[in-house]
Amino acid sequence: IKIIFSCIFVAFLAIRWTSNFDAESLRGAKVLVTGSSKGIGEQMAYHYARFGAKIVITARSKDTLQKVVEKCLSLGAQEAFYIAADMSNESDLDRVVDFALKKLGGLDYLVLNHIGSTRVAMWDGDVEHAKWLMKINFFSYIQMAWKALPSLEKNKGSLVIVSSLAGKMPSPLTAPYVSTKSALNGFFGSLRHELAMKKSNVSISVCTLGLIDTETAMSKVKGKVNMPAYPATEAALNIIITGATRQPELFYPWFTYIWTLTKDWIPSFTDYVVQRSYNYNP
User: Judged by CB under 6 A, which of 214, 238, 242, 245 binds ligand NDP?
Assistant: 214
Asked if the peptide bond before residue 253 counts as cis, ω within 30 degrees of 0, the response is yes
Q: Is 41 in the site for ligand NDP (CB under 6 A)?
A: yes
CB of 137 to ligand NDP, least distance (A): 7
Nearer to ligand NDP, 29 or 40 (CB): 40
Return the C-alpha torsion angle 59, 61, 64, 66, nearest 10.
Answer: 80
Q: Which is nearer to ligand NDP, 113 or 185 (CB)?
A: 113
**Cα dihedral across residues 184, 27, 36, 234: positive or negative:** positive
Taking 3-state DSSP, the helix, strand and coil percentages for the chain, each rounded to the nearest 5, stand at 55, 15, 30
Query: Does 211 help bind ligand NDP (rule: CB under 6 A)?
Result: yes
Compute the least distance from the CB of residue 174 to ligand NDP, in Å.
10
Q: Which of 44, 65, 58 minimizes the C-alpha distance to 237?
A: 44
Is 177 catalytic? The answer is: yes
CA distance 135 to 88: 6
Residue among 30, 47, 54, 114 that touches ligand NDP (CB under 6 A): 114
Q: Among residues 136, 152, 178, 250, which is the contact residue for ligand NDP, using CB under 6 A?
A: 136
Do 62 and 51 form a contact (C-beta atoms < 8 A)?
Answer: no
- Tell me which of 18, 20, 74, 216 binds ligand NDP, using CB under 6 A: 216
Catalytic residue among 109, 177, 252, 257, which? 177
> Can you spell out the DSSP letters for 147-192?
HHHHHHHHTT-EEEEEEEGGGTS--TT-HHHHHHHHHHHHHHHHHH
Answer yes or no whether residue 38 interacts with ligand NDP by CB under 6 A. Answer: yes
Contact status: 37 vs ligand NDP (CB under 6 A): yes
Residue 262 · residue 157 · CB < 8 Å: no
Asked if 217 is part of the footprint of ligand NDP (rule: CB under 6 A), the reply reads yes
Query: Of residues 151-210, which lie at the interface with ligand NDP (CB under 6 A)?
Result: 162, 164, 209
Residues of this chain that interact with ligand NDP (CB under 6 A) are: 35-41, 59-61, 64, 85-88, 113-116, 136, 162, 164, 209, 211-212, 214, 216-217
